[in-house]
Amino acid sequence: MSRISPKVDIAFKKIFGVEENKDLLISLINSIVSAEDQVLDVTLMNPYNPKNFKNDKLSIMDIKAQGLDGKRFNIEIQISDEADYDKRALYYWAKLYTEQLKVAEDYSILSKAIGIHILNFTSIPFVKKYHNVFHIKEKDSGIAYFKDLELHTIELNKFADNSNETLADIVAKVKNALDVWLAFLTRNDLLKKDHLPKELDDPSLAKAIDVLDVMNLNADERDAYEGRLKWMRIEANTLKKHGEDCRAEGKAEGKAEGKAEGIAIGEAKGKAEGRAEIARKMLEMAVDIKLIEAATGLTKDEILTLK
């Protein structure tokens, strides 16, 4: 039986969002944030609760944590390329920041809020690096006046997107602590806790592999996990095919309209058509309309027209 994938949000939160694995969450956070934002301990603000699935199988599996100095963190692994994901990321940051302030309290109590978005898709196609950090800065001088806002995007497929890669290929990419965690998230199938190469010989990684190996899901969790995993597979196959077809079409159009513009048109068209095709396949499998909406970003009316 194959391992549960930590790229699925349910498994991700069951690994990093429980009290007994808080050390793993701390290690993950510290591999991402700057030296000044490192944490020694955190308080889980929304720990994993399997009972949630009985009431809401579409619940958001983010992890909220607060450091000893008051800084707040929101960590989310996102399966699908939702429409306007950038706006969603900013909205979640705003909620994390404003939730600190109660009625009649002073603004001075507000602490820095850091959003960490681990993405199973390419969000910033024109940038090669997988980890990008965003702040608000003054346009000309670059002064970071609003220092409480920080957003991280980590695109997994920029680290490893080739299923034919060997362990040696993955190890060759490992340059820092975050790379160790990305090796776990993308290619844990190649990792054995008792036979880790020296570049990956980390106690936290060994524990995470052990947690994954013994992880059990109840019936509700299993249903939600399988639904999300099925979506990942459909999305990967469908978007790859449409992306290739429409990039080729875009290049042809680009000869007349300008190559860069033509490719952009083709890729945009491929993404739209890919969502529709994914929705059709999910309808064929009798997937709930609400789950299709959440997975594709299409409206209920748009989905029903595909039947």
pLDDT score of 165 more than 80: yes
For 26, what's the count of Cα atoms within 13 Å in the CB-facing half-sphere?
Answer: 15
Most confident of 189-193, 242-246, 298-302: 189-193
Radius of gyration (C-alpha) of the chain in whole angstroms: 20
pTM across the whole model: 0.76
With contact defined as beta carbons under 8 Å apart, do 49 and 57 qualify?
Answer: no
Of the candidate ranges 20-29, 41-50, 68-77, 107-116, the one whose mean pLDDT is the lowest: 41-50
With contact defined as beta carbons under 8 Å apart, do 241 and 278 qualify?
Answer: no
pLDDT of residue 256: 47
pLDDT of residue 54: 58
Token pair belonging to 303:
């989905």
pLDDT of residue 61: 76
The residue ranking higher by pLDDT, 60 or 264, is 60
Cα–Cα dist 20/91, whole Å: 30
With contact defined as beta carbons under 8 Å apart, do 143 and 171 qualify?
Answer: no
**Confidence band (pLDDT; 50, 70, 90) for 302?**
confident
pLDDT of residue 255: 47
pLDDT of residue 18: 93
The residue ranking higher by pLDDT, 217 or 209, is 209
Cα–Cα dist 158/245, whole Å: 21
